[in-house]
Structure 1
């Protein structure tokens, strides 16, 4: 329990160190835009409290540059539609429960027709606020609300153009690496628990069902990572801070898709393990212990490959990152481990055994092949080297080989076993 708390505190402190400055700058951007829009609106409407202007600025300034204009235009259109509808209602009907309900129904319908997306409800809100002042003051309230909205949208757009948000590629890389860590941790835990069950003579099927449930949860979390990547991709467009920086979006997209396919394959592997160990007769054989221990070893090799792949994707999000000798060694070991697992499972399938074991070995072998094909650690490493070369202003002055130079030579290490061709 104490170790769990220590890991949680360390993880939160690391997250605060990485994300704290960016979060503070984001808060300052929104605060400055809101205050500036309020000051500008008071110049147009002295003696009032134009809170709609800072509200609009806060909603506009937090979007990405590519959706900035669309968000501002949608909000202005929503306000114009709402106040126009309210002025019409105020001139015809009094404010009663039935007129309020009719106004909301018509306003939401108009918003859907205009396809105002997240600003759809603003049509009804604007109409309700203007209708509440009565027929005598509806027209003046409508013009003031419209003007405050225009001021807030203009200030929000100006703030995003003058102080553009950061390119969130690094955040997307961390999110993808976090997904890889979840898969890797599940495989490592499954390997450790399977080894303990073999030593203690416990049942494997219930544990496999638990691992399968955890794998399902991880795959259900993939859309959240995809949203972070989409935000990073949109954040580059029309963003002056992205000028001169390499576009790592396609590589990150390929990395997320590879992890998604790998996670689905791993989920199927756990399902095959659960089916193969449920009321199975082969578990009584003397060779069952060796089979399960071999599967546990394969889990560890898969975990090392997924963890290394996630780190490579995260490094690719920041092309200035230099791979350390430890990272290079981890890449070597992960690559060799996956190929050893494939060779071992190929031999087991050729040897022939009980039908349940044949299906289980085939499922595990299919997962290993899927990870080898999807992640392609060598190509991912070469992609990072290609991105890194333009980023370096000059070669390193030290005579000692850099981690990048060692990485470049990784596929041609003397005496290293060549990878087997893919089927």
Structure 2
């Protein structure tokens, strides 16, 4: 009985976990919206199979509420524009090869004029579909009605069924990128401690360059998460979440660039010192230790920027500070050893200095005080841009805040007088 209860508990937890998966939530929402749109269009429209409505609902219900609103408006505009172009041409000419060419050209031009962005081809598609039927007028307006039904159902679905928030997925992508950076940095440090052939050092350089493709994928996940935070009723302080994740990814991108520079420096050092070790004496061991400590700090930084619970964030920040202090101490010790080595042999002093400079740059980028200043700068910049973009709304919001502040002060003064 106890085994059955444990199995049932695990099964319920697994179903609950999968039911909250953003991909599954999105599939269910899209299916529900398309079905409801078809049922409504079947009742209200004249068509026997109004597939335009579920198609529009399926396309309008995007991953996020913000993209759904913007996509729905542009899609409706594109379809209506295409239908109007078809009606205008149907009154003048029939369907021939040259009239079809004119319709396509006119529809694409109108699509750019009404600024429907990625839905410009849909203007031409709607115009061709409507122009190709006999009863143009009835079919045109039924298509408009079906499109409006699908768009309205898609928008209502996102308002009633809150879309998933993709912050956890973006955070997981950021942490995975940080771990890949760490693994590569550890391999670079291990090779720096001994005799490394130039070919192996060049291979690490190619791996560092390939990290750019990983950053592009993480940036796409982060943009999706940023859209999911906009206009989402389930999210509070969405702006802060967006800025924290975006600045965190920017810092990791800087770290990957610096790692690529370090790999390039070690490749040049391997070429000029072959067959000797890359670093003289014990300094190679300190380079490996320094890169290992910096690599651990990169992962701790990623955990810090993706942690939403305050207690866990404080623990991650403390761990990051300790790792950065240890890395700075190792860098100072390495600085002394390399300085003594350069005094005896100054042939590679530029390359040695470059390693210290780039390691210092990563330590400075990961510093918590530097990150705090960056966050405040981004928040101030965003507030300034909002004021410049929407001055009237900003003035109304400031007046409302001032009124609430005055009411609280008045109530507090009344309470003290009593």
Q: TM-score, normalised by structure 2?
A: 0.76
Distance 1:19 1:350, change over 3 A: farther
Give the corresponding residue for 2:165: 167
- Any residues of structure 2 matched to 1:98-137 within 5 Å, and which? 98-133=98-133, 136-137=134-135
8 A Cα contact 1:42 1:49, kept in partner:
yes
- Any residues of structure 2 matched to 1:7-406 within 5 Å, and which? 21-45=21-45, 48-133=48-133, 136-194=134-192, 198=194, 203=197, 205-243=198-236, 247-278=240-271, 280-281=272-273, 283-284=275-276, 288=280, 290-315=282-307, 318-319=308-309, 322=312, 331=320, 334-353=323-342, 354-355=345-346, 357-377=348-368
8 A Cα contact 1:176 1:256, kept in partner:
yes
8 A Cα contact 1:276 1:356, kept in partner:
no
CA–CA distance in 2 between the matches of 1:245 and 1:113?
Answer: 33
CA–CA distance in 1 between the matches of 2:37 and 2:361?
Answer: 54
CA RMSD of aligned residues (A): 3.1
Which stretch of the first structure deviates more once superposed, 174-183 or 228-237? Answer: 228-237
**Which blocks of at least 5 consecutive residues in structure 1 are unaligned?**
1-13, 385-423
Q: Deviations over 1:143-191 (max 9, x none)?
A: 1111110000000110111112133222222221122112111112333
Distance 1:246 1:285, change over 3 A: closer
Q: TM-score, normalised by structure 1?
A: 0.76
Q: Which 4+ residue blocks in structure 1 deviate beyond 6 angstroms? A: 16-20, 378-384
8 A Cα contact 2:22 2:166, kept in partner:
no
8 A Cα contact 1:301 1:337, kept in partner:
yes
Q: Deviations over 1:21-63 (max 9, x none)?
A: 2221111111111111111111112561111111111121114
Give the corresponding residue for 2:415: none
SS in 2 for 1:240: coil
SS in 1 for 2:225: helix
Give the corresponding residue for 2:396: none
8 A Cα contact 1:262 1:367, kept in partner:
no
SS in 1 for 2:21: helix
